[in-house]
Amino acid sequence: MDVSGKVVLVTGANGGIGWALVNELLERGAAKVYAAARNIEAVAQMAKFDPGHVVALRIDVTHETSVATAAAQCQDVDLLINNAGVNHCKSLLDPEGLETARQEIKVNYLGTLSMCRAFAPVVAARRGAIANVCSILGLVNLPVNGTYSASKAAGHSLLQGVRAELASRGVKVYGVYPGPVDTRMTAGQEMDKATPEQVAKMILDGIAKDEEYIFPDAMSQDVYRGLLNAPREVEQQFGAMLP
Ligand SMILES: NC(=O)c1ccc[n+]([C@@H]2O[C@H](COP(=O)([O-])OP(=O)(O)OC[C@H]3O[C@@H](n4cnc5c(N)ncnc54)[C@H](OP(=O)(O)O)[C@@H]3O)[C@@H](O)[C@H]2O)c1
């Protein structure tokens, strides 16, 4: 999809990748971007906030009424980018693992599902598209982020199902699988990280080229190649990265 002249909604827009996507969409000529966040005051305070083209919109993806209200209000969306997400960095057997698993499933899986369900009729009416920001950790479990990885694996399955259900209605569904990106989510974690701006460009390049699977950084591309060639080896490498 060419985003020029299109109306786009980005969830989690006050976050690192979300805000970079908003700016990159404007760079590429999007007509209007709904920058959706739980805290719209935070959106209005973001650097380079452009009230002429950006509409700050309150959405908590875990609240069905909030999602339904937004869908009723935004009937002009061509491209929905489900970017909101949380990572509590807990392993599955951590004492707090069950509670973090619940919270991550609520946002990363059920929240994304809720957005897809509410906006499917909107984007279908415009023969538009949906892009879900999943994670490379949805394709291989990293035990230190075990509960998050599992929630993103659910997100990957959700993406495939929604893609199949919407195909006959002319809606493209893109899956985005980043590796580590330098945002609040990875603050304090020492490792090579892509910048949110680089990742936003790669995501929109992938959407422009109509790529159904988008690996927006060198690390995710490398891991994906590994998963295609030697999936068990990749699983073992990630499994060995215990605290
Ligand atoms: N950073 C990475 O290394 C990385 C790698 C792979 C995938 N991802 C994915 O990329 C996406 C963006 O993450 P990020 O790195 O940009 O992290 P971030 O800066 O922490 O941004 C996350 C965004 O999600 C929002 N959010 C959380 N819960 C929400 C809810 N219930 N309703 C609506 N919005 C909610 C946050 O809003 P608040 O400010 O209100 O909390 C924030 O705007 C996530 O889906 C993440 O899983 C990130």
Tell me how far the alpha carbon of residue 173 lies from the centroid of ligand 1, in angstroms. Answer: 20
Which protein residue's CA is at the shortest distance from atom 32 of ligand 1? Answer: 60
Distance 229 CA to ligand 1 centre (A): 30
Q: What is the pLDDT along the chain (243 residues), one digit of tens a residue?
A: 999 999 999 999 999 999 999 999 999 999 999 999 999 999 988 878 888 899 999 999 999 999 999 999 999 999 999 999 999 999 999 999 999 999 999 999 999 999 999 999 999 999 999 999 999 999 999 999 999 999 999 999 999 999 999 999 999 999 999 999 999 999 989 999 999 999 999 999 999 999 999 999 999 999 999 999 999 999 999 999 986
pLDDT recorded at residue 45: 87
- Which residue's CA lies nearest to atom 8 of ligand 1? 135
Decide if 196 is inside a domain. yes
CA of 234 from ligand 1 middle (Å) equals: 25
Asked whether residue 39 is assigned to any structural domain, the reply reads: yes
Q: How many domains does the chain have?
A: 1
Alpha-carbon span 104 to 111, nearest angstrom: 9
Rounded CA separation 175/169 (Å): 18
Q: Would you state the pLDDT for residue 197?
A: 98
- Domain of 175, in residue numbers: 7-239
Query: What is the distance in A from the centroid of ligand 1 to the CA of 15?
Result: 6
Cα of 185 from ligand 1 centre, angstroms = 7
> Would you say 61 and 112 are in contact if contact means Cβ atoms under 8 Å apart?
yes
* Rounded Cα–Cα distance for residues 139 and 146 (Å): 12
Query: 69-99: buried (b, 16+ CB within 10 Å) or exposed (e) per residue?
Result: ebbeebeebbbbbbbbbbbbbbbeebeebee
Q: Tell me how many degrees the CA angle 40-42-44 measures, rounded to the nearest 5.
A: 75
Q: Which of 182, 207, 174, 220 is nearest to 19 (CA)?
A: 182
* Ligand 1 pocket residue status of 105, Cβ below 6 Å: no
Asked if residue 2 belongs to a domain, the reply is no
Q: Specify the CATH number for the domain of residue 134.
A: 3.40.50.720
Q: Is 122 in the pocket of ligand 1 (CB under 6 A)?
A: no
| Residue at 1 is within a domain | no
pLDDT at site 35: 97
Give the whole-angstrom CA distance, residue 58 versus residue 1. Answer: 26
Residue 62 near ligand 1, beta carbon < 6 Å: yes
Contact 232, 133 (CB under 8 A): no
Kindly list the distances between the CA atom of residue 56 and the CA atoms of 38, 87, 107, 180, in Å, as whole numbers in the listed order.
10, 24, 20, 27
